[in-house]
């Protein structure tokens, strides 16, 4: 069958070799998947999920039992006091925006200790001017860069001693940078450190791409609030849009009052029939995340053997589902992304080209042959057209589909 996709014997043979090598890594991924699946099932059973929770409400959405119970399920899985899980959130960016506007007030300072946050937050924060930014409301932003892929403890201490920080944002996944993603042990360590100087500062985690990669989640190591997208890990490829915010009850309430209206909060918001997709999505998520991880591990070893720089290496501990490949060559990056598109179920005959995307300084190429627009829990690959010509690849609803995508991409570079 692989020959029918135009994959050469040379690449097929290499893939057989690689699959043997990565077996112990796959086993570890499977263990985490098993643990997280049990965690999800327990939350479903404890909340006695039944057919009636697939109900839908319209209009104001008062008394939506399905929506409210689905939020309980998410809260239980993430050891949160409460959760807000809504289709009224467009995606992760929107949920992060709502959270920041909900927690911060004029004169407050937000501090990022993982350097500049994700690109789509530039205009939200006001790093790029926008008349609706946090900055336009008089909210200050400061950042401390990572040093050698770790937190800059010295600078963090110095800044916290000066006081007056309302919120610390920690972005676990690397975004479009080439730093490493933040592991849970490192997160735990820095949160303990922060608490020595400030008991009250809100510790908010951008958890995009990291859910279910490990057995524990950030709230279990002391974070106050986590935010993530449902067209990534937790949607399991089934949720058609949406995002979540989970953590301390008072913070979730503030976020709800910002998303809807003060005085209405979580009580409103029609589910419009989306609850079943959210529940089915999170039910599938542990196994879909495992498939994405296996696809990333397979790609990492294949490309390393072909002589490319990869991050992480196949046997490194992972904090997210993203795989970086440095091609150090513009054409190779473009060919690889185009090959990923060719291996997709949707729009496999479209050829992505680099273009000037709003919000980015360099041209970007994006491959995504996905059922859900922009969904990056489905196999997808993108890269800014600048040295070292790095591809950021993530997703894979099943390992089998992920694997053929990677093989097709490698073949396309030949
Ligand atoms: C994807 C991503 C976001 C934004 O989420 P969307 O669902 O794409 O809006 C924010 N932060 C990080 C680290 C991400 O990877």
Residues 151 and 241 both lie in one domain = yes
Residues 253 and 311 both lie in one domain = no
Q: Which of 93, 115, 174, 226 to mutate to test the pocket of ligand 1 (most atoms within 8 A of CB)?
A: 93
Task: Tell me the CA–centroid distance for residue 359 and ligand 1, in Å.
Answer: 14
Residues 59 and 29 both lie in one domain = no
CA–CA separation, 322 and 313 (whole Å): 12
Position 43 in a domain: no
**Ligand 1 environment, Cβ below 6 A:** 91-93, 118, 120, 171, 173, 175, 206, 208-209, 229, 231
pLDDT at 146 over 90: yes
In our burial notation (b when 16+ CB lie closer than 10 A, e otherwise), range 201-240 reads bbbbbbbbbbbbbbeebbbebebbbbbbbbbbbbbbbbbb
Q: What angle do the packed helices 9-21 and 23-46 form, to 10 degrees?
A: 70
The whole-number average pLDDT for the span 142-163 is 97
Of ligand 1's listed atoms, the one at least distance from the Cα of 120 is: 4
> What percentage of the chain exceeds 70 in pLDDT?
100
The whole-number average pLDDT for the span 16-43 is 98
Task: Tell me the CA–centroid distance for residue 373 and ligand 1, in Å.
Answer: 14
pLDDT digits (tens, 9 = 90+) for 331-342: 999 999 999 999
The whole-number average pLDDT for the span 14-19 is 98
Instruction: Give CA separation, 362 vs 122, 354, 365, in Å.
Output: 15, 9, 10
Position 20 in a domain: yes
Residues 213 and 76 both lie in one domain = yes
| CATH number (domain holding residue 169) | 3.40.640.10
Nearest-CA neighbor of 294 among 16, 33, 66, 119?
33
The whole-number average pLDDT for the span 190-212 is 98
Instruction: Give CA separation, 320 vs 73, 206, 233, 390, in Å.
Output: 22, 12, 9, 17
Residue finishing a domain among 255, 277, 299: 277
Cis link prior to 388 (omega < 30° from 0)?
yes
Residues 57 and 170 both lie in one domain = yes
- Give the pLDDT band (50/70/90) at residue 359: low
Position 44 in a domain: no
pLDDT at 360 over 80: no
Domain count, the chain: 2
Model pTM score: 0.96
Of ligand 1's listed atoms, the one at least distance from the Cα of 171 is: 13
Q: Is 321 exposed, middle or buried (0-12, 13-18, 19+ CB in 10 A)?
A: buried
Of ligand 1's listed atoms, the one at least distance from the Cα of 322 is: 15
Check residue 294 and give its pLDDT. 98
Check residue 178 and give its pLDDT. 84
pLDDT digits (tens, 9 = 90+) for 59-118: 999 999 999 999 999 999 999 999 999 999 999 999 999 999 999 999 999 999 999 999
Three-state SS at 344: coil
Residue finishing a domain among 260, 277, 294: 277
Residue finishing a domain among 277, 301, 325: 277
Residues 217 and 142 both lie in one domain = yes
Position 42 in a domain: no
Residues 82 and 231 both lie in one domain = yes
CA–CA separation, 235 and 372 (whole Å): 11
Residues 114 and 87 both lie in one domain = yes
Residues 402 and 325 both lie in one domain = yes
Q: Could you tell me the residue range of the domain that residue 206 belongs to?
A: 50-277
> What percentage of the chain exceeds 90 in pLDDT?
96
pLDDT digits (tens, 9 = 90+) for 283-317: 999 999 999 999 999 999 999 999 999 999 999 99
pLDDT digits (tens, 9 = 90+) for 250-262: 999 999 999 999 9
Nearest-CA neighbor of 414 among 355, 338, 356?
338
| CATH number (domain holding residue 319) | 3.90.1150.60
Three-state SS at 86: strand
pLDDT at 358 over 80: no
Residues 333 and 222 both lie in one domain = no
Residues 33 and 54 both lie in one domain = no
Which residue owns the Cα nearest ligand 1 atom 5? Answer: 92
Check residue 362 and give its pLDDT. 84
CA–CA separation, 12 and 2 (whole Å): 8
Three-state SS at 133: coil
Residues 105 and 245 both lie in one domain = yes
- Give the pLDDT band (50/70/90) at residue 361: confident
């Amino acid at each position: 069958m692989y020959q029918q996709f135009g994959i050469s014997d040379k690449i097929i043979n290499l893939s057989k070799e690689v699959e043997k090598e990565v077996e112990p890594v796959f086993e570890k991924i499977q263990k985490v998947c098993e643990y997280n699946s049990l965690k999800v099932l327990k939350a479903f059973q404890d909340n006695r999920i039944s057919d009636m929770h697939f109900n839908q409400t319209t209009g104001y959405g008062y008394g939506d039992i399905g929506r409210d119970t689905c939020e309980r399920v998410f809260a239980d899985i993430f050891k949160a006091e409460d959760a807000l899980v809504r289709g009224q959130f467009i995606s992760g960016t929107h949920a992060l925006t709502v959270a920041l506007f909900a927690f911060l007030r004029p004169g407050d300072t937000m501090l990022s200790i993982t350097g500049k946050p994700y690109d789509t937050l530039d205009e939200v924060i006001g790093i790029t001017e926008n008349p609706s930014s946090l900055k336009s409301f008089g909210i200050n932003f400061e950042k401390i860069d990572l040093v050698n892929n770790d937190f800059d403890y010295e600078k963090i201490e110095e800044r916290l001693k000066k006081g007056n920080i309302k919120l610390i944002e920690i972005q676990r996944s690397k975004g479009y940078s080439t730093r490493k993603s933040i592991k849970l042990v490192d997160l735990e360590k820095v949160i303990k450190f922060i608490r020595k100087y400030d008991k009250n500062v809100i510790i908010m985690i951008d958890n995009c791409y990291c859910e279910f990669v490990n057995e524990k989640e950030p709230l279990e190591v002391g974070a106050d609030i986590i935010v993530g997208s449902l067209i990534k890990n937790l949607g399991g490829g089934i949720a058609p849009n949406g995002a979540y915010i989970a953590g301390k009850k008072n913070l979730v309430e503030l976020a709800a009052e910002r998303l809807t209206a003060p005085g209405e909060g979580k009580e409103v918001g029609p589910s419009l029939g989306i609850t079943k997709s959210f529940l089915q999505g999170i039910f599938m998520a542990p196994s879909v995340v495992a498939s994405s991880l296996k696809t990333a591990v397979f790609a990492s070893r294949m490309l390393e053997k072909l002589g490319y720089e990869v991050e992480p290496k196949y046997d490194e501990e992972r904090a997210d589902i993203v795989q970086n490949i440095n091609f150090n060559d513009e054409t190779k990056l473009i060919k690889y992304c185009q090959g990923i598109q060719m291996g997709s179920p949707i729009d496999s005959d479209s050829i992505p080209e680099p273009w000037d995307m709003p919000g980015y300084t360099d041209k970007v190429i994006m491959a995504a042959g996905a059922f859900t627009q922009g969904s990056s829990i489905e196999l997808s690959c993108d890269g800014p057209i600048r040295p070292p010509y790095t591809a950021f690849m993530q997703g894979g609803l099943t390992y089998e589909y992920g694997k053929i995508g990677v093989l097709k991409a490698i073949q396309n570079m030949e």
